[in-house]
Structure 1
Amino acid sequence: MRSESEQPESDNPFTIPVATRVLRLPPYLFGKINALKHKKRVAGVDVIDLGMGNPTDPPDPMIIEKLTEAVADPRNHRYSVSTGVENLRREVGKRYWKRYGVRIDPNDEVVACIGSKEGFSHLCLALMGPGDTAIVPAPSFPVHVYAVALASGNVIALDVRDPEQFLANIDYTCTHLYPKPKLVIVNFPHNPSATVIEQDFYVELVRLAKKHGFLVISDFAYADICFEGYQAPSFLATPGAFEVGVEFTTMSKGYSMAGWRIGFCAGNAEMCRALATIKGYYDYGIFQPVQIAAIVAMRNCDAAVESIAEEYHRRRDVLCDGLERLGWEIERPRAGMFIWAKIPEPWAQMGSIDFAMKLLDEVGVAVSPGRGFGEEGEGYLRMAIVENEQRLRQAVRQIGRCMKQEVEQP
């Protein structure tokens, strides 16, 4: 609180000239919903939160035990290495070999990140600058757009829901735009639309990268959450991928370690070196006990990862079954932790933001409006299957009550 002597002396207040990169950021379209969600919770409303992909399941007890043990060791409280300790990077290489048959040099081709979002954002800062352009998938996970904007780059968003057409549009854009895009960002399984691809998609992407000279960043955050026999392919398993790009993975989803903030960048050595350079100036690495626990997780907790995927599969079916009974047309995702649900008529006419606000305000169910992921997302809601099955059934009942009230209004 200001004292009397600190009150403004004139009618012309002092202005804070924030950087142009901040002014370039678009309005945060989830702000209204987050504010109402907070207000509801303060008022004691039990909000069923399907808005954020924030896992509610705890990690395997073995991981927590190792963290506790490592925290008790005073040697682990010093600054760590910004790129991750060697044993952790080596374990990432082993996991890629075991799961995808990909050989990775842990010294030059892996960087540990404070969550993949941090690594992705800092890699954009290392690669992009004024006048550079990135192609991003649309509907767009916000960081794929904002990280490029914060790096002073330009964004071209191309609809990703038809992967073959997405590739054709990349080729067309690169052929007709000058200067050509410097970077192409891909994200499969896709957030928010849950679109998936097969390995041949990456074969064509690598061919286009070499043809047009662009770099590739693959955001592989949902690699561990696949259903009904589908296995999400790794970009790095494609011949030539290491020449043109990198891939980000995370322990947030499959290992339920979201708040631990640990992810990885792997692939092209020069791109990894550029990221490591930026990180060397910005941070002192991940808390070492977290890295030690992550090593144990990757070595010993494959069964826990499979169990988590099975749990998300059951939740997917509970939510989709319920919405279909209410008359929603649902395309069941083969991977990921989101349902990309087309809003039925007449509620679609409200717009996704207003309909999401209605669900939260009237029946206490929080969802993400499709418009928050760009123009291509309008008409859809993204629903995270992070609540347990009982809560998801309750969410369906409350959504149905909201829709019934609308129908019964004169």
Structure 2
Amino acid sequence: MSLLLDELLQLLEPKLRDNLTSDSETRNEVARYLESLLINDDLLSTETFTTNYTKSKKRTLIEEIAELDHKYRQTDIKLTAITNENKTTIIEINQDLNAINKDITINYADNVKRIKEIITKESVIKSKVVVNEKLISAIKTTSTVLSNVDSVLDYLELPTLCKLCISQGNYQESLEISMTAQALTIKYPNFVIFRHIRNQVEQELKLMVNGLIKLLNTNLKQSQLLRVFQILRKVDLVSSSTNDIIVAKERYLKMIYLNSRFRFIANELATLKPLIKFNKFTYLKRFIEVNREYLFNSLSLYYLLFSTFDAPSSSENSSGADDDGQLLLQQLIQTMADMLVQEFKTHFPKQTETNNNNQDDMGELEYNSQKDGLILQLIYLCRSLAKFNLDFETILVSEFCYSEHILFDEADWIRNLQKVKKFRN
């Protein structure tokens, strides 16, 4: 016990520890108190004390049942009170549940039938609404036209106005009128009157195109020719919906140009016919000069209009020409060469013929000089066309020097060709 007491003394404050150590009587009393504690069974059987320790007494089963019964009665009393307070709400909810149950079990089929009927009626109403909207739209459009009847009357004058512009040479304005008529048919596709106006305007444009093509057969200046083709390029000359419409239109314009130039040159050559009666050499010389002048000008303008070559004198650039354009040019050159050869075979005078009915026969020297002059003119013609990579000389040499009816000896042609080369050098 003294050992336990010594250990406990170590836990006390120094002052109390000194008192207990010095006072033997107090020390003995404390020892007896500790001994009484150790022999107390109740104290030894208690649980370990903790900070949240509470003393609890074990209850019996009867006490537990009694407590639960008490809580049940209290809960029942609370529920009864709540029910009494909300009995009206409970009755209403019960009535609603009974009504829902009745609708689901009894009126379900009738409700489904009514829903189907409603959906059917709505679809019919929607279709009627669509029809009515189309009718309303048509009425609005008609009302718009009627409210602008003065403008419509002005539109009716478009064909006459287009014809007047064409007659006065205002071709650009006539094209603008055509675009206006086309815009009206696009904006109001259901109005026949606008389609009729457009058709009339197109007829006037066709007459304009025919007039311009006839105008190309005359002796127009280069600026006038360029202006005519600017107008023709803006007109729909071909009817096509394919991607090749531009190529087809360009080919058609080339055909128009070359054909009109051929007709013009042919008309100019026809005016030389009276010279045959006076001097055949003069006639043939003028025939060559007209061919040279107008063929060169026509080909120069052709390349300017259609940009076939960047530089016609370059053989490298000429290889880039389109096949159709080159074929059309070759056809023109072949036709002009055939005309030239035919005129020479028909009207080239023999040495025994006279150049005037009132003069004597030509001397051999003068005849050869006149013949060499024609050959030189032919060579100059070939050289001018060679700038466009067109082989005119081969055709003429073949017809004049190697055909059945030889007009010139090969030696004469070579001799004059050397003169040209010497002069050029």
TM over 0.5: no
Higher relative CO (Cα under 8 Å, sequence separation at least 6) belongs to: 1
Structure having the larger proportion of residues in strand: 1
- Give the TM bin, normalised by the shorter chain: under 0.3
TM-score, structure 2 as length reference: 0.18
TM-score, structure 1 as length reference: 0.19
